[in-house]
Each structure stands twice: as structure tokens, then as C-alpha cells.
Amino acid sequence: MTPESPLVAAQESAPQVPDKGPSTDMKYLSHAFEARSPLDTMFWDVERVRTARDEHARGCFERSAGLADAMMTDPRIFSGGLQRLGPLLGIPRAVRPGPHWNGGGLSARVRTEAEALLTPDATACPPGTLAAGFVSTAFMGVSILQNVWTPRADGSRVDVEVRPWPMQMSQWNEYRRRYQLFTTEGLIDVEPNDGKWIVVEPNGPRSFKFGAVRPLALVWADRSYAIRDRSNHSQAHGSVGIIGTLPPNVSIDDEEGRKFEEAIQFLHRARAGMVKPNGSSVDTFEPRTMAFQIFGQIVKDNNADVMLALNGLDGTSVYKSISQLDGVRYDLVRVELGAATTSYNAGFLRPWALYNFGDEDVVPRLVWLVPDPREQERIDALGRQHQAFAAAVKAYKAAGFVVDQPLVDQLAKSFGVEPPKLSAVVAVPGKPGLPGPAGDAAAVPPEPTEATEASDLKRESDAAA
């Protein structure tokens, strides 16, 4: 199967794909295309892995999609894929209303109905469908989804269900500049955003060249062979070998020699024993080699490559991810969700709104609320500045310096924070006053009262005594 394969004529009864634009052919829109079954079950050796990788770069996905599926049996690749998927599904989504009536009226009602299409328990586009699309864009570089439309019996609405298309039954035709699908009805072209098909390409045209299946291909083969060889080595060297020596003048071909050989082989069983012929010997042999360490080292070294290919980070990179993205590079998340926003709006929400309400101005818009790392860095930096300013003020007070409003203003300016106002504090007699709110040199002691005068006299009398 190659991108140059001739078009297979669809059956006459099969709906025809429109040339361009949103389709109004309900027969075409309501038809559910089914993928053709794979031709064979794939067995992977290094040469087949290389072939699948190279075919993927040419736009033929039958083998590479099968390779990507096989890779998911590796726990490291499986967990790396889940880590890539985490922020894409965890980042909140929102539906914005269309511009008509300033987002109110009919636009608000359309937005409310659109939100219902994207709830976790909805059948139109549930999280599982989104997840399948994100997994495809991660490993294959592109995802294709099919809209299946169903008119309601009363004619009030046209409902939709988004279904992921298996990339194994697709290809890129360079001459037609189109993705093509191998269906049970023949080979058809995909027209993105025609109401039937959604194509998500995070890296623009030919995004399949950025699929992680390409850099992971030989990494997975390397890991697979290392794990296999480690198991074989364990089987070969995990238990001691037994060496038997026949008595003098006894041949291995003699009846006594054959029985001795059978008895030696029996010794590998649990709680086995034997009677040795006179003059024979039985010894154990255990290979002494450190070769087993190379297998674990290969697997360990490839762990970082797996995470780099899927998430852009391996835990040791200088580049740091923000906490909300669970160790995935911000630019990967931003680009992928940006492409999903464009494609799901143009290929899913826009046709749904037009078919049901017929007004371009009420079309809602799906957005992912991706956190801005610069805003997080600004908040973190501001917190550090405030902490440093508070520590400086505390240090000045502990050293016995007069901390008045001019000093506070100067320190706040040095640390780049807004200067706080000192609160008014009533001075205690006999102790230096603290500055007032207007930056006074010292707070004025309160006027003496009869009670305070009596207290002062008593204190002086006690002191004289």
C-alpha cells in the first residue's frame, strides 16, 4: 500500500465526497464510513520497524500505525503517552458564544447547547473521542475524525457523533494533496471541514512527519531486543548447569552411558536424585559473566529518549515545564490544543450550528484555557520580591534601626513592590515611639490622666524605697 496507489472506485451506492465547502447532502453526512480490515498481522523485527518508519515519512500509515499500536505494549512508552495525554484532557475547556446580539439571545442559547455536546457523558464528542484524537496526533502526527449526522424524527435538530478514524487505514496522497481513507466501499478523499471530516494537524500540512512513531521506532526495537535478550540470558544462566563424567571405559553410546545421561537431565527437576555409576562424577557449572548488565543499561538509557520523543522533556532538561502541564513542554501543549481548537471549531461546531440554526453569526467557539507560563513566572517572581522586602524590614527592626515610612518607601522601591503604609502605634512611656501613618518621627504620647499620674507616683515611690 503506497501513496501512489490508484484510486479504487467506490460502489455506486456509496455516498460521494463533495469537492469543497460544507456539504448539504444529508445522505453523505449521515452515512458512517467503515474502515477496511488490515491485510495481515504484523511481526516486528528491526528491518520491518525501519520499513514502517520510512513508509510513514512518505505518508503511508498502514505499517507505522500498526507499529505505534505495538509500541503501547512497552510500559515506558505507554506511560509516556499517558503523560502526554494528561494536560490535553485536564486543561479546562470553554465554549464562547457567537458575536450576534453581543453573545446574548440566540447566541447564548446556541452556546448552551454546544456545551452540552462536550460534557463527559455526552455522545457527540466525549473525552474518549478527544483522547483518541490526541493519541493519534502524538504518535502519528495527525488525527482524522468522522462526523455522523442523524436528523431527529420531529425535524427539530440534526444530532452528531464524532468518531475517530483508524490511521492504519489512511494515507497521504502527495499528488492530490489530500488524505485518503481505505473504506469498505473503496478509497475516498478527505475534504477537511466539509461537515463530514475533521483533520487535526498540529504542525501544519504534512504533520505526520512530526509523529513520535518516527523517533521512537528504533528506540522501541532496541528496548524490545534488550528485554528479550535479558530474559534469554536469565533463562540460560539463572540456574546452574550440571556436568556428568562417565566412568572409565564407558561410552556415551553404551546403554549405561545413555541411562547416565537421562539421569543427569532429570536432576534439573525439583527434589530430583540419582544413583551414580561406580567411577562417575557429577559436578555443577555456573557461568561467571557480567554481560547481563548491558541489557538493563540499554533499557535505562532508552527511557530518556522515550520521554523526549513524547513530551519534549526527560526530567533532566534545562527547559522546565509549568506545574499544570505535568512535565510536558508548554509549546507542545500549546500547539496541539491550538490545532484542536481550529479543527474542532471549523469541522465540528460550525457545521453543527449551521445545520441546526442556519446563522453564521451564532456559531460558538470552543477554546482550551491553556495556562500562560509567563503569568505564572510573574506571580512567582512577585512573591519572591515581597518575601525579600518583608525580610529586609524585619532585619532593620531587629538591628534596632528606626523603621519609618520613608525607609519603608525606599526599601519597597528597591525590591520593586508597592510600599505599604505603617500603622499608627501609641508610644509606651519610657520607650521610643514608633512612626505614625504620615511618617512622623515618633508617635505623640497620650495626655496624662489621673490614673496614669497615680501609677507614675507609685512607680517613683517604689524605686526610692
| Residue 262, domain member (yes or no) | yes
Segments forming the whole domain that contains residue 458: 423-465
Residues 463 and 450 in one domain: yes
Which of 293, 323, 345 is the last residue in one of the domains? 293
Residues 366 and 430 in one domain: no
| Residue 309, domain member (yes or no) | yes
Residues 204 and 265 in one domain: no
Q: What is the pLDDT of residues 430-450, one digit of tens each?
A: 445 444 444 444 444 455 555
| Residue 5, domain member (yes or no) | no
CA gap 377, 392 in Å, rounded:
23
Residues 227 and 210 in one domain: no
Q: What is the pLDDT of residues 51-83, one digit of tens each?
A: 999 999 999 999 999 999 999 999 999 999 999
409, 419 Cβ separation under 8 angstroms: yes
* Least confident segment among 138-142, 297-301, 371-375: 297-301
Q: What percent of the chain has pLDDT over 70?
A: 75
Residues 241 and 342 in one domain: no
Residues 6 or more apart from 111 whose CB is under 8 A from it?
Answer: 95, 96, 97, 98, 103, 364
CA gap 45, 440 in Å, rounded:
84
Residues 101 and 154 in one domain: yes
pLDDT at 113: 95
Q: What is the pLDDT of residues 110-159, one digit of tens each?
A: 999 999 999 999 999 999 999 999 999 999 999 999 999 999 999 889 99
Residues 259 and 311 in one domain: no
pLDDT higher than 90, residue 375: no
Q: What is the pLDDT of residues 446-459, one digit of tens each?
A: 555 555 555 555 55
Where is pLDDT greater, at 14 or 455?
Answer: 455
Residues 178 and 265 in one domain: no
- The pLDDT-based confidence of 292 (bands split at 50, 70, 90) is low
| Residue 8, domain member (yes or no) | no
Per-residue CA distances from 23 to 130, 170, 278 (Å): 24, 22, 93
| Residue 6, domain member (yes or no) | no
Residues 154 and 232 in one domain: no
| Residue 3, domain member (yes or no) | no
pLDDT at 435: 47
| Residue 64, domain member (yes or no) | yes
Residues 263 and 410 in one domain: no
Average confidence (pLDDT) over 35-63: 89
| Residue 19, domain member (yes or no) | no
* Spatial CA neighbour of 144 closest among 33, 9, 256: 33
For residue 66, give the C-alpha cell.
Answer: 500498526
Q: Domains in the chain: how many in total?
A: 4
CA gap 215, 222 in Å, rounded:
12
pLDDT higher than 60, residue 31: yes
CA gap 395, 393 in Å, rounded:
5
pLDDT at 290: 54
pLDDT at 428: 45
Residues 105 and 56 in one domain: yes
Residues 67 and 102 in one domain: yes
- The pLDDT-based confidence of 239 (bands split at 50, 70, 90) is low
- The pLDDT-based confidence of 287 (bands split at 50, 70, 90) is low
